Amino acid sequence: MWLHTSTRLDFNPEVATPFLFMLRPRSGSQQWIGREEYLIAPSVPVVEFTDAFGNLCQRLVAPAGPFSIHASADIECSMSVDAAPGVAFVEVQLLPDDVLPFLLPSRYCESDCFYEMAADLTAGYLPGWNQVRAIVDHIARTIRYTPGSGSILRSARDVNGCSDAVCRDMTHLAIALTRALSIPARMVVGYLESLAPMDLHAWFEAFVGGRWYTFDPTQLDLDGGRVAIAYGRDAADVAIFTQFGDPVPLTAMQVSVQRMNAPPTDPRR
């Protein structure tokens, strides 16, 4: 399936302000970037680098005045995500080295506070994929997905017990509980076709049965049509923009995802 994705961000800083963006999805084993554009107005020098998680990051200084970024792409991705009931827990000593950091507690996922709750929630479930699914189901059942609710400072500990939360919050809680079982979990920020209201989205992946599997506590009914923009331990690692210095308001933000009728074709053919 081919999707056309687009994010436009508008700012209006009073003084020149350094920014870090993560808005260029990468091709990988799950998705292929067939066409892409990344426009900046007014034009300023940009330096791109790859962070420790493999994400492409763009560094620039936005000048004073109206400033906008528009990143869009045509991307081939899967129609569905793999569900894998019964897939087994991987003993910690058998995990690949580079997966180990995703077992540790992080800014918004204090897994070291959730051992008991994770054990209780998953008692009786087969170790592995089924435990993660039990966590996701619990969160989906007990917290209402309410876009716009809450604060950007909420961590898993804060979210636990809330009645309303955003995708980021519910994902943080799910990650904290998953790691508390010694199952590696990482956050994904990206696009999801048919999300309503449309916005950038957050979900997570858990490492069971020797690979990463997708889980999404806020969208039990939506499945494929996912494009990952960035991976990390939690929202601190995968902010689509990080701004330094005095706060600069985001004056407008538009996100869209459209299914394409056909793959992008070569205009020369």
Please report, as ranges, the residues that interact with its own copies according to CB under 8 A.
Answer: 8, 18, 20, 24, 26-29, 32-39, 41, 43, 45-52, 54, 56-61, 70, 74, 76, 91-93, 97, 100-101, 103-107, 110, 112-113, 152-153, 182, 236-237, 242, 244-245, 263-266, 268-269
Residue 5 or 58: the one with the smaller Cβ distance to its own copies is 58
Q: Which of 200, 197, 195, 201 is nearest to 259 (CA)?
A: 195
Q: What's the min distance (Å) between Cβ of 199 and its own copies? A: 18
Residue 18 or 86: the one with the smaller Cβ distance to its own copies is 18
Strands 17-21 and 241-243: antiparallel
Q: Which of 71, 74, 66 is nearest to 56 (CA)?
A: 71
Residue 126 or 222: the one with the smaller Cβ distance to its own copies is 126
Beta-bridged to residue 60, according to DSSP, are 19
> CB neighbours of 11 closer than 8 A, spacing ≥ 6?
17, 62, 66, 67, 68, 248, 249, 250, 251
Q: CA 72: distance to chain centroid?
A: 17
The answer to whether the CB of 53 falls within 8 A of the CB of 212 is: no
Q: What's the min distance (Å) between Cβ of 148 and its own copies? A: 19
Q: What's the min distance (Å) between Cβ of 260 and its own copies? A: 13
Q: What's the min distance (Å) between Cβ of 150 and its own copies? A: 14
Residue 100 or 220: the one with the smaller Cβ distance to its own copies is 100
